[in-house]
Amino acid sequence: MSQSTIESILQEERLFSPSESFSETAHIKSLEDYQRLAERAKADPEKFWAELAQQELHWFQKWDTVLDWQPPFAKWFVNGKLNISYNCLDRHLTTWRKNKAAIIWEGEPGDSRTITYAQLHREVCQFANTLKQLGVKKGDRVGVYMPMIPEAAIAMLACARIGAPHSVVFGGFSAEALRDRLIDAEAKVVITADGGWRKDAIVALKPQVDKALADGAVPSVENVVVVKRTAQDIHMQPGRDHWWHDLQQDASPDCPAEPMDSEDTLFILYTSGSTGKPKGVVHTTGGYNLYTHITTKWIFDLQDTDVYWCTADVGWITGHSYIVYGPLSNGATTLMYEGAPRKSNPGCFWDVVEKYGVTIFYTAPTAIRAFIKMGDHLPKARDLSSLRLLGTVGEPINPEAWMWYHKVIGGERCPIVDTWWQTETGGVMITPLPGATSTKPGSATFPFPGIIADVVNLDGNPVGENEGGYLVVRHPWPSMLRTVYGNPERFRRTYWEHIPPKDGKYLYFAGDGARKDKDGYFWIMGRVDDVLNVSGHRLGTMEVESALVSHPAVAEAAVVGKPDDIKGEEVVAFITLEGNYEPGDELAKELKQHVVKEIGAIARPGEIRFSEALPKTRSGKIMRRLLRSLAAGEEVSGDTSTLEDKSVLDKLRGEG
């Protein structure tokens, strides 16, 4: 964020209070209610979480210790036994919700399906039995590489039901990226579809799985289950590949939920860091179930009449926590949409809102900015009066986009919850509670009750009002990541030792910069590490660099983010070539395509800049700060005295 943006943000005086009618029926009705909860939680966090765990979830066996904290390793609800699929399904079947819509699915092109809790339970049980028949046992990892279809949620819940941790890989990732994740997780089975719809076209998924598994690259995978979605020709390898519908047909709908230990792994989800390969973030059962349940209930103010729509993909944490587990644990109706706004159908989101009478809508700032550009006439031509609450997630929202969302989509009547969180946190950490918190456009406002967040310097001391610092969390919370899969040292280093622990006190380091204003509102300023946020998707600069240098033409690559009006950030790659290659548009195109092949379309560089050399310090470190300024077209300011070869800078500016 530029200095001028920061200054204008900190002068934000607009305050939007929840309407009386909203507050009246809300779960949390006033600022006083919120403060009372937050204070109670702070005074005795274990009591606070234990009471909620008792009230909100079904346990097969109660825990004997609420929290076992051996920093930085936490265990929540020790020796408690539960099953999240039971909490998401079985317990609703004994209530009137049995025949309530659990999932409303709007597919492409024009397909749709509504699945009740009873039907969902049946399908999950059948698929759980299918997995068992394929030899999947408690503790075995299952890869899920799916389009946005109900079977994705069914697969996740079936894994949870038998205690097999799932590892969902976003369907937009390449075969190479999929392979790396399957290898790391040592997946035994992969669940996929022949293809999926993406913007009016069918994208092949099964062929990507074939490529990922080719030549025995992932020896752990024994079986592949394929949903028939787009019905194009695909290769089925006898013995390994099975059609979902064939297996489902033979599977019994009777499958009791396995009593899981509270600390048994529920899933692994890979996310990018500033160094190395993506990390397998490990989430466990009890704490994750509780935290996603209660955050969904209070932040989205879920009522039984709501039609709740989160536009994320199940391949990201937002889809895990706020399409599948949080809403279903609450017995809500959750909408899944396979489509995406595109030139041929720019109003499709608003059609979905109108068609189903969506009441709660949760999306990313990048989507909102794209809608602004597409024009107000699109939402204005639809009836959006069913909406009562709006949310955003994934990146800081600029106040202009917030105001547009408030006026054009929310009709000035819907509170907006700007929710800050991460793959690692499992659930939302800093957010308004819509019936309680007065919001300021661009601020995620206050920590959720029980979350002790702060802004500190590198010594771990709080910074002053409006001063920039690092966002940290001071006390463990139920849905925190437990470790990095197979790499506890990396877990310790990345999140808990960046700010050195003092007197046994560990701070969770989020990797974001933040400020607190005079009223205690949190303002998230973006990543402070080499992690980019492109359209709300997290990308490690190093991952993109590794993809680039794996191309024979590339000698060195340095990747930085450049501010972009819609995407937030865009990938810019500075490249030096091997001797026998010439820079040019053709090669730039080829390199962009190479990154798509190695990682996926979300990582495609917007711009490739060829250079004879990269700016380095005398010790050989690439000076990214300079590259960021160059990419943004700004004057290179600050200290350049450590630059080894000053002429490099002129050449990069095109003046050499």
**Per-residue string for binding with ligand WT7, 554-593, x by CB under 6 A?**
----------------------------------------
Instruction: Show the tokens assigned to 596.
Output: 């798509």
Q: Which residue in the block uniquely carries the two structure tokens 């606070």?
A: 48
Query: Rule CB under 6 A: which of 537-556 touch ligand WT7?
Result: 538
Per DSSP, the residues of 433-498 read: -TTTPPB-TT--BSBPTT--EEEE-TTSPBPPTT--EEEEE-S--TTS--EETT-HHHHIIIIISS
- Rounded Cα distance, 168 and 264, in Å: 17
- Rounded Cα distance, 224 and 240, in Å: 6
Using DSSP's 3-state secondary structure scheme, residue 416 falls into strand
Q: Which is nearer to ligand WT7, 63 or 420 (CB)?
A: 420
**Per-residue string for binding with ligand WT7, 352-391, x by CB under 6 A?**
----------------------------------------
Q: Which is nearer to ligand WT7, 526 or 583 (CB)?
A: 526
The minimum distance between CB 396 and ligand WT7, in angstroms, equals: 4
The minimum distance between CB 310 and ligand WT7, in angstroms, equals: 10
Q: Which is nearer to ligand WT7, 331 or 427 (CB)?
A: 427
Among 171, 391, 394, 540, contact with ligand WT7 (rule: CB under 6 A): 394
The minimum distance between CB 431 and ligand WT7, in angstroms, equals: 8
Q: Which is nearer to ligand WT7, 174 or 295 (CB)?
A: 295
The minimum distance between CB 539 and ligand WT7, in angstroms, equals: 9
Cα distances from 415 to residues 223, 335, 435, 524, 539, in angstroms, run 47, 20, 8, 19, 30
The minimum distance between CB 541 and ligand WT7, in angstroms, equals: 14
- Stretch binding ligand WT7 (CB under 6 A), from 392-400, 573-581, 622-630, 642-650: 392-400
Among 264, 395, 530, 569, contact with ligand WT7 (rule: CB under 6 A): 395
What backbone phi and psi angles, to 5 degrees, belong to 268? -120, 135
The minimum distance between CB 425 and ligand WT7, in angstroms, equals: 7
Q: Which is nearer to ligand WT7, 319 or 460 (CB)?
A: 319
Query: Rule CB under 6 A: which of 14-73 touch ligand WT7?
Result: none
Among 190, 209, 234, 444, contact with ligand WT7 (rule: CB under 6 A): 444
Q: Which is nearer to ligand WT7, 100 or 628 (CB)?
A: 628
- Rounded Cα distance, 202 and 427, in Å: 32
Q: Which is nearer to ligand WT7, 263 or 512 (CB)?
A: 512
Per DSSP, the residues of 588-650 read: HHHHHHHHHHHTBGGG--SEEEE-S---BBTT--B-HHHHHHHHHT----S--TTBS-THHHH
The minimum distance between CB 397 and ligand WT7, in angstroms, equals: 7
Q: Which residue in the block uniquely carries the two structure tokens 């290659």?
A: 581
The minimum distance between CB 315 and ligand WT7, in angstroms, equals: 11
The minimum distance between CB 358 and ligand WT7, in angstroms, equals: 20
What backbone phi and psi angles, to 5 degrees, belong to 56? -100, -20
Number of helices followed by number of strands (H, E) in the chain: 23, 30
Assess contact for 265 and 165: CB atoms under 8 A: yes
- Stretch binding ligand WT7 (CB under 6 A), from 174-182, 393-401, 450-458, 568-576: 393-401
Query: Rule CB under 6 A: which of 499-538 touch ligand WT7?
Result: 510-512, 524, 526-527, 533, 538
241 belongs to the binding site for ligand WT7 (CB under 6 A): no
Q: Which residue in the block uniquely carries the two structure tokens 């009522």?
A: 303
Q: Which residue in the block uniquely carries the two structure tokens 């090669």?
A: 587
Q: Which is nearer to ligand WT7, 297 or 537 (CB)?
A: 537
Q: Which is nearer to ligand WT7, 274 or 487 (CB)?
A: 274
The minimum distance between CB 229 and ligand WT7, in angstroms, equals: 25
- Rounded Cα distance, 493 and 501, in Å: 11
Helices (H), 518-572: 541-549
Q: Which is nearer to ligand WT7, 129 or 437 (CB)?
A: 437
Q: Which is nearer to ligand WT7, 241 or 418 (CB)?
A: 418
563 sits in the region (left: phi over 0; alpha: psi -120 to 50; else beta) called beta
318 belongs to the binding site for ligand WT7 (CB under 6 A): yes
Q: What is the dihedral of CA 72, 77, 82, 87, to 10 degrees?
A: -90
Q: Which amino acid is at 345?
A: N
Give the angle 460-465-470 at the CA atoms, nearest 5°.
35
Assess contact for 305 and 359: CB atoms under 8 A: yes
421 belongs to the binding site for ligand WT7 (CB under 6 A): yes
317 belongs to the binding site for ligand WT7 (CB under 6 A): yes
418 belongs to the binding site for ligand WT7 (CB under 6 A): yes
The minimum distance between CB 170 and ligand WT7, in angstroms, equals: 10
The minimum distance between CB 522 and ligand WT7, in angstroms, equals: 9
Neighbours of 614 (CB within 10 A): 20
The minimum distance between CB 405 and ligand WT7, in angstroms, equals: 13
261 sits in the region (left: phi over 0; alpha: psi -120 to 50; else beta) called beta
419 belongs to the binding site for ligand WT7 (CB under 6 A): yes
Using DSSP's 3-state secondary structure scheme, residue 81 falls into strand
Assess contact for 495 and 484: CB atoms under 8 A: no
The minimum distance between CB 114 and ligand WT7, in angstroms, equals: 27
**Per-residue string for binding with ligand WT7, 271-310, x by CB under 6 A?**
x---------------------------------------
How buried is 118 (Cβ within 10 angstroms: 0-12 exposed, 13-18 middle, 19+ buried)?
middle
* Residues in touch with ligand WT7 (CB under 6 A): 271, 317-318, 393-396, 418-423, 444, 510-512, 524, 526-527, 533, 538
